[in-house]
Structure formats: structure tokens, C-alpha cells
Amino acid sequence: MDIMHLVDRLEQIITEGRHIPMTASVILDEDRLFNIIDQMRISIPEEVKKAGRVMAEKERFLAQAKEEGSRIRELAKAEAEELVKRDAITQMAQQKADSLMAQAEQDALQLREDADIYVTNVLTKLEDDLLRSLTVVRNGLDKLDVESLPPEPVSQEVVMIPEEVDA
């Protein structure tokens, strides 16, 4: 039986009791009072047990919630650390890639400069060689004074060159 119901019944017995005139006293039905008190003695331990079970269950739920909260916090912390670690690795990789790209561009620029110098040197040497050859040709033409000499007839005679024999 519900303890509150028993308290209500106890209160009803008191209000139904006969008042003694000129006093604050009331005459009550002793049997009914003892009956309710007995029921209260039975109900109170049961109510206390229920309250104890509720409190134990509450404590168990709180412990589970704390444990779950700690577990979630640890997982979140580990995930955050992993993300920071991945971000750091990504940043390091990006820095390395940027460094390699800068080095490759520098190497390519140096290679182009070296190639330009080499080509300039080769072309300058070729120009010098061609100018020397042109000078030789002009000197030869000047020496022959081609315009003052009659042209020579071109012969159509075949000249045989003996083959070399291996000994």
C-alpha cells in the first residue's frame, strides 16, 4: 500500500475525531490508528527498499553515463590527435612538395642558362669557323683573280684510280 495513502487515512481519522471542549485535544479511534500504524510499518520498509533500489539504479546510470562520457571523451581526444597528426603530415608533405618544386624550377632555370651559354659558344665558334672559311675562299678567289683568266674547258676524260691491294 502507498505510504501517502496511509498518511491521508491517518489525517482523516484525526479530523473525524471528537474534540474535547476548551482544549486542543481530540478523542481518536485507537483500533483504527493502530491498524494504520501497522500498515505503515509494513509499507515503510517496502517504500524504503524501493527508494534504495531507485537510488542504486540512479547511481548505476550515473556511473554508466560517466564511463560512457569518459570513453567518448577519450575517443574524441584520440580522433583529434589523429587529425592534428594527419594535418601535420599533410603540411610537412606540402612543404616538401613546395621545396622540391622550387628546387626543380631552380634546376630547370640553371639548365636553360647553361644550355643558352653552350649554344651561344657553339654558334660563336661556328661563326668564327665560317668567317675563316669565307676568308679563305675570298682570298683564294682574289688570288686566282677569276675574272682575268680565260675559262678552262672541262674535260670529260675518265681517270681510273688503281685499287690498293692488301699485302
Confidence at residue 156, expressed as pLDDT on a 0 to 100 scale: 62
Its pTM stands at 0.36
More confident residue, 2 or 10: 10
Confidence at residue 41, expressed as pLDDT on a 0 to 100 scale: 83
Q: Looking at the predicted structure, is the pLDDT value of residue 4 above 80?
A: yes
- pLDDT range class, residue 119, cuts 50, 70, 90: very high
Confidence at residue 103, expressed as pLDDT on a 0 to 100 scale: 93
Angle at 68 between CA 52 and CA 76, to 5 degrees: 160
- pLDDT range class, residue 89, cuts 50, 70, 90: confident
Burial grade of 28 (CB within 10 A; 0-12, 13-18, 19 or more): middle
In the chain, where the domains are located = 3-133
CA distances from residue 72 to 1, 75, 76 in whole angstroms, order as listed: 43, 5, 6
Confidence at residue 164, expressed as pLDDT on a 0 to 100 scale: 62
pLDDT digits (tens, 9 = 90+) for 30-87: 898 899 888 888 877 777 788 888 888 888 988 899 899 899 999 988 888 888 888 8
Closest CA to 49 of 37, 38, 57: 57
Say how far apart CA 156 and CA 60 lie, in whole Å.
Answer: 125
Confidence at residue 108, expressed as pLDDT on a 0 to 100 scale: 92
pLDDT digits (tens, 9 = 90+) for 94-118: 899 999 999 999 999 999 999 999 9
pLDDT digits (tens, 9 = 90+) for 128-163: 989 998 898 888 888 887 556 565 665 666 555 656
